[in-house]
Amino acid sequence: MTSTAATAAAPVNSRARVITASLIGTTIEFYDFYAYATAAVLVFPTLFFPQADATTGLLASFAVFGAAMVARPIGAVVFGHFGDRFGRKATLVASLLTMGVATFLIGCLPTYASIGWVAALFLLILRLAQGFALGGEWSGAALVATENAPKGKRAWYGTFPQLGAPIGFIIANGVFLFINFALPHPDGTAQRSEEFLAWGWRVPFLFSAVMVIIGLWVRLKLVESKTFEKAEKSGAIKKFPLGQVFRRYWKQLILGTFIMLATYVLFYLMTTFTLSYGTAPADAKVPGLGFGYTDFVLMQIIGVIFFGIFTLLSGPVADAIGRRRLLIWVTVGIIVFGLLFSVFLLPHADPKFTGALVQAFLIFGFMLMGSTFGPMGAVLPELFPTNVRYTGSAISYNVSSILGAAVAPFIAVALWSAAGGNPWLVGIYLSVMGVLTLIALLLSKETKDVEYEDNLA
């Protein structure tokens, strides 16, 4: 066979490879993030901020959690630059490796009892590294999926990296639950044992190394998409994609950031805040619902199953009726949902009735989450042309993480505390963010018919 023939017969990415490569990376990334989020509620206030009272320690733990979101736009700029200059494959491998190393090292950290405040500093540094890596991960995974999608199916393909969020949640919390069940509880507590505080919490972080190795193996088999190769051959690749994005596509950056805002706020309220509120004792200074950790996480997992189902369903719907129309209706639903927090989340005399309402709250919230999160894998990349698509979509996605996810747990705990344990202000906060997203959607244009390969800056 001649060299020319061999080149012509070069393998392309099959559907299975595209789905696996885009899904497994984001699953690992979100697993790592959820592992931290769970530990931020359960153990980090005790192990890294023991001198503070319970509420202050939780806020400090969430502050470190939010710090990662600040690092994400920096990661978006760096990984976006390399992704638009040199291709998606190598950039995705680098982001996954960075995330995996940082997460593994969190599992090796000494605590405050061993080295004092320096332990919290190391935790912050590694958390920033996690955020930096995730800043480049999502956009690359979304591009692998959508740039390899058949015509008319970009939103459906774009849901595959989005599925990493619910799957990562289930795996991370499943590992925590398994460890918690496996360790003895001599004092009868259903939440944390001495062994869990001593070493059990480290296992989920160390376990991430296995998942990263699998993810790297899959991604190293990727081939660059025809869309990127066409841009490269035509000489359209920019030496400085960031400058091009800010100069010519600043409106798309702003719209994309606010289109994603309500999604981020809902995402972290449904996962991190609800875990804090649901497991806080009913007789605490800032009262919660008093559920055991295990019980509440199992309720969350039931809700997250609906998250995954509606993430997948949203793709074909967005391909059929348009991304903008679907998201407008879902965002209206998020606004209404925020106004109903007190209806679902206040305790009642009958614990079973309270449990049923909370489970309904989690299911409905995660249904909305899947419906808004699923189309984002297509919407944000479609706002930008091929040669700046990685940079533009990554910046929009990750700047939104500062405005939404970085402050959402912190603001939610502060509002919860200010209202004396009533979550109604937290719901109002979500509704206000939903209104901002709705305005951005009304100002935007439909993107489902954008031609990827011919769209160059």
Q: Which tens digits make up the pLDDT trace of 402-418?
A: 888 778 877 888 899 89
Our count of domains for the chain comes to 1
CATH number at residue 406: 1.20.1250.20
Whether 7 is covered by a domain: the verdict is no
Tell me the pLDDT band of 266, cut-offs 50, 70 and 90.
very high
Name every residue whose Cβ is closer than 8 Å to that of residue 147 and which is 6 or more positions away in sequence: 88, 225, 226, 227, 228, 386, 452
Q: State yes or no: pLDDT of 445 exceeds 60.
A: yes
- Candidates 228, 225, 237, 256; CA nearest to 145 is 225
Quick one: tokens of 29? Answer: 């990334």
Whether 3 is covered by a domain: the verdict is no
Quick one: pLDDT at residue 189? 47
Whether 209 is covered by a domain: the verdict is yes
Whether 304 is covered by a domain: the verdict is yes
Name every residue whose Cβ is closer than 8 Å to that of residue 135 and which is 6 or more positions away in sequence: 71, 72, 73, 74, 75, 76, 77, 78, 79, 95, 394, 398
For range 156-185, the mean pLDDT: 85
Task: Pick 445 or 134 by higher pLDDT.
Answer: 445
What distance in Å separates the CA atoms of residue 355 and residue 337, rounded to the nearest whole number?
18
Whether 8 is covered by a domain: the verdict is no
Q: State yes or no: pLDDT of 167 exceeds 80.
A: yes
Q: State yes or no: pLDDT of 218 exceeds 90.
A: no
Whether 256 is covered by a domain: the verdict is yes
Whether 88 is covered by a domain: the verdict is yes
Q: State yes or no: pLDDT of 190 exceeds 50.
A: no
Name the percent of the chain in helix, strand, coil, to the closest 5.
Answer: 75, 0, 25
What is the residue range of 390's domain? 14-226+239-443
Quick one: pLDDT at residue 382? 93
Neighbour-count burial of 304, counting CB atoms closer than 10 A to its CB (0-12 exposed, 13-18 middle, 19+ buried): buried
Whether 62 is covered by a domain: the verdict is yes
Q: What is the pTM of this model?
A: 0.83
pLDDT digits (tens, 9 = 90+) for 17-35: 788 888 887 888 778 777 8
